[in-house]
Amino acid sequence: MNESVVTEFVILGLTQNPELQRVLSIVFLFVYLVAFLGNVLIVIAIISNTTLHTPMYLLLLALAVVDVICTTSIIPKILETMLTSRKTISYGGRMSQLFFFTWSLGAEMVLFTTVAYDRYVAICFPLRYSAIMNHQMCAALLSTVMVIAVTNSWVHTGLILRLTFCGSNTIDHFFCEIPPLLAMSCSPVRINEVMVYVADLTLAVGDFTLTCISYGFIIVAILRIRTTEGKRKAFSTCSSHLIVVSLYYSPVIYTYIRPASSYTCERDKVVAALYTLVTPTLNPIVYSFRNKDMQTGIRKVFASLKR
């Protein structure tokens, strides 16, 4: 069957057990509300407070926007398939979900690296921070993030568009991701696999390596701090950042570095949940809510709402 005549695809979701689906729907709804409201609150706090219009917070603003787009492109559709009898997604809906998820995936990986670089400059070169991380540098970094994310998304979406599906139109996943789509295709997917492998090496492995190098220099700088309290706070922040980025990069590298033939439904669904659900929920807590200036900005937002 030629893909051009296919109008709908069936999404199987995480499980076919009705009772487990109800439990998971509650969990997914909770995760979505926490991730969406938390990241939206960060966006409002940064935009409405001029004291937060600095490169560091503009990068966190971009990260929050990416997380909103990522979760919104996936979770509402998951909830629809769990709570209603409608388990299908249109061809246009499938490609839109794939495009926005792939865009957010690329953007998030590069943003983690830019945030790590920002912290590296702030801690290792505090006296030169304002000169290095000025608004021009911030604009250049964000422009680079956008170009890489859009290019990555267009390439992979375009390559999926050329595939033919002559068998089942059932997607054994909870959203439209590249590996299960390649596993469904009856067309040669060698080019797709090569481009996915290249993207995984450059974006995932490359950015993860750069991020770890930045935090390595940060740890060395922290060890030079004389006060025990200062070391404790710095190590706490650094370790929490490393845990979050590891939770994101590790499953992404695992998922995309393998050929489509090695795709395993149940295990890969759980792995995908780490970078589509867990990380966008943790990001506001780890990167923003623990920050004193951000806490002050959030209090101002709530104070303005009470008036």
Instruction: Say which range, 21-30, 228-237, 279-288, has the weakest mean pLDDT.
Output: 228-237
Residues 6+ apart with CB under 8 A from 43: 61, 64, 65, 68
Percent of the chain whose predicted confidence (pLDDT) is above 70: 94
Dump the DSSP string for 102-155.
Answer: HHHHHHHHHHHHHHHHHHHHHHHSGGGHHHHS-HHHHHHHHHHHHHHHHHHHHH
Burial of 289 from C-beta contacts in 10 A (0-12 / 13-18 / 19+): middle
What local confidence, expressed as pLDDT, does residue 268 receive?
Answer: 82
pLDDT per position as a tens digit, 67-114: 999 999 999 988 888 888 778 888 788 889 999 999 999 999 999 999
pLDDT greater than 60 at residue 5: no
What local confidence, expressed as pLDDT, does residue 68 receive?
Answer: 95
170-171, strands of its sheet edge to edge: 88-90, 8-11, 170-171
For 23, phi then psi, to 5°, come to: -65, -45
8-11 and 88-90: which strand pairing? antiparallel
What local confidence, expressed as pLDDT, does residue 288 receive?
Answer: 83
pLDDT per position as a tens digit, 176-215: 888 888 888 888 888 999 999 999 999 999 999 999 999 9
pLDDT per position as a tens digit, 229-249: 667 777 777 888 888 999 899
Confidence bin at 130 (pLDDT 50/70/90):
very high
What local confidence, expressed as pLDDT, does residue 163 receive?
Answer: 83
pLDDT greater than 80 at residue 265: no
- Of 247, 300, 307, 288, which is closest to residue 37 (Cα–Cα)? 288
For residue 29 the two structure tokens come to 């709804």
Average of per-residue pLDDT values in the chain: 87
Fold of 8-305: Rhopdopsin 7-helix transmembrane proteins (1.20.1070)
The pTM of the full predicted model, rounded to 2 decimals, is 0.90
The three state secondary structure string of 274-295 is HHHHHHHHHHHHHHHHCCHHHH
Confidence bin at 4 (pLDDT 50/70/90):
very low
- Of 2, 177, 195, which is closest to residue 99 (Cα–Cα)? 177
What local confidence, expressed as pLDDT, does residue 131 receive?
Answer: 93
What local confidence, expressed as pLDDT, does residue 267 receive?
Answer: 78
What local confidence, expressed as pLDDT, does residue 1 receive?
Answer: 41
The C-alpha atoms of residue 275 and residue 267 are separated, in whole angstroms, by: 14
Can you tell me the mean pLDDT for 8-12?
82
Confidence bin at 2 (pLDDT 50/70/90):
very low
- Of 98, 101, 112, which is closest to residue 62 (Cα–Cα)? 112
Instruction: Say which range, 139-153, 225-239, 241-255, has the weakest mean pLDDT.
Output: 225-239
Instruction: Say which range, 152-156, 206-210, 293-297, has the weakest mean pLDDT.
Output: 293-297
Residues 6+ apart with CB under 8 A from 67: 35, 39, 104, 108, 279, 280, 283, 284
Residues 6+ apart with CB under 8 A from 256: 178, 179, 196, 197, 199, 200, 204
The C-alpha atoms of residue 261 and residue 15 are separated, in whole angstroms, by: 22
pLDDT greater than 80 at residue 122: yes
pLDDT greater than 80 at residue 307: no
Q: Is 45 helix (H, G, I), strand (E, B) or coil?
A: helix
